[in-house]
Amino acid sequence: MIQTRTANPVDRHVGQRLRQRRLLLGMTQEQLADKVGVSFQMIQKYEKGSCRVGASRLMQIAGALKVTPSFFFDEAPAAEVRKVAEDHVTMDADVMNKKETIDLLKAYYSLSDDVRRHVLAMVKSLHEKDAA
């Protein structure tokens, strides 16, 4: 009897974080694959969580994406439900994979620290008014 392997929640989470970071940097699967010495199909499999990323490969990927290996495990394994801010607002699990979110994050982090603080304060204020 052949068993098909379903993606482990942690493997899916690591893959989602990998994809998010790659997209945030504007890097293609092919470009990342070239940097770490694998095929772009392997990057696809890592991102889907259908293949586990070994420790040494994770180190290579982290270096190519300019993050620490721990970045891939932030908020794991509860990738389906993310808690945001102090009031624990829940988001759709796919919100971090949307182009709009990636574009917003790129624009936000291109701002100076001072401007970012003001934007964040403004958004928090709008959220409080909207929730009231």
Residue 11 pLDDT exceeds 50? yes
Window from 5-14, 38-47, 55-64, 74-83 with minimum mean pLDDT: 74-83
Euclidean distance between CA atoms 21 and 112, whole angstroms: 20
Band the pLDDT of 83: cuts 50, 70, 90: very low
Question: Mean pLDDT, to the nearest integer, of 21-47?
Answer: 96
pTM for the whole structure? 0.59
Name the DSSP letter for residue 127: H
In the CATH hierarchy, which top-level class contains the domain 1-77? mainly alpha
The reported pLDDT for the residue numbered 93 is 60
Residues 61, 28 contacting (CB under 8 angstroms) = no
The reported pLDDT for the residue numbered 99 is 85
